[in-house]
Structure 1
Amino acid sequence: MIKKLLVALSFLTVSFMFAQKNNDQKAVAEASEKLRSAMISGDKTVLESLILPELTYGHSSGHIDNAIEFVEKLVSKKSNFLTIENTNQSIQIVDKTAIVRNHLFAKTADFGKEPGEVNLDILYVWSKTKSGWKLLARQAVKAEKKK
């Protein structure tokens, strides 16, 4: 009897953990989509709601912005995304951390520059907080050109 109870409890625990991981992956995917939209719109309130104050935002050029710089550049359109397409996204949950990788293709019209395109591979690190998933770090690298 005790053996059956332990097996049942083990099954329930594993089922709960699997369901929680799926819920977390869905929540991170939703946060990622909100970030994508806010980066296009430059909505300061939404951007600030999705990031941690400790944000480190690495550009493919090697420049790193903090949270304030990240938001200011998007709101002022100094960094102006006209479109952003994220593809090949993967989400890995490790405790209260989410590692998201995707390919980003965007059309840009940064302040004072001609319209252009960026083709990047991105790594995002999200942290689970009491108020939801928040972006802690992002690093971009130029995507390899297909031969």
Structure 2
Amino acid sequence: MKRLTLMLAFCLLAVAPLFAQTKDEKDVANAVEFMRKAMVDGDRARLTQLAADDLSYGHSSGKIQDKAAFVEAIASGASDFVTIDLTQQTIKVVGNTAIVRHILTAQTNDGGKPGTTQLGIMLIFQKQKGAWKLLARQAYHLPVQ
């Protein structure tokens, strides 16, 4: 029994680093969650705070928005997210840049028209003055399964 316990403990110690996140990865994950909540709430101040001044926000349709257009579309309700769920998220930090990928599933209410969407998303965050700012976003259509 003692040998089995020791073997299990060793296995857990060997696997633990695979699930560990660095401080930067945790901070980026928090920035993604901050963004998700701000988008659902349509919170102009939080969206403005999160977005880098040089934001390039790409939609799956090919439309590209700058910071002002992105914030206005969400805050005005023109692009209205009722819910946003993020799955299969990965975060890779390289210096002061972070690459985030996930699947976004959302209920929308754009122009009073209810809908649903599921997209692949790639986000680029950049650490600016100690805070992770959204520098770029690109959505893409997922293959039909």
Shared fold (TM-score, shorter chain, > 0.5): yes
**What pairs with 1:23-102 in structure 2 (closer than 5 Å)?**
23-102=23-102
Counterpart in 2 of 1:139?
138
TM-score by length of 1: 0.83
Partner SS state of residue 109, structure 1: strand
Counterpart in 1 of 2:120?
121
| More off after superposition, 92-101 vs 125-134 | 125-134
- Which letter maps to 2:134? L
Cα deviation, residue 91, structure 1: 0.1
- Which letter maps to 1:90? T
Partner SS state of residue 79, structure 1: coil
Aligned residues: 125
Counterpart in 2 of 1:15?
none
TM-score by length of 2: 0.84
Q: Give 5+ residue unaligned stretches, structure 2.
A: 1-20
Q: Give 5+ residue unaligned stretches, structure 1.
A: 1-20
Deviation per residue, 1:91-144 (Å, 9 max, x gap) = 0001100000000000000025x2111110000000011141000000000111
Report % sequence identity. 46
Kindly report structure 1 stretches of 4+ aligned residues shifted beyond 3 Å: none
Distance, in Å, in 1 between the alignment partners of 2:63 and 2:42 is 20
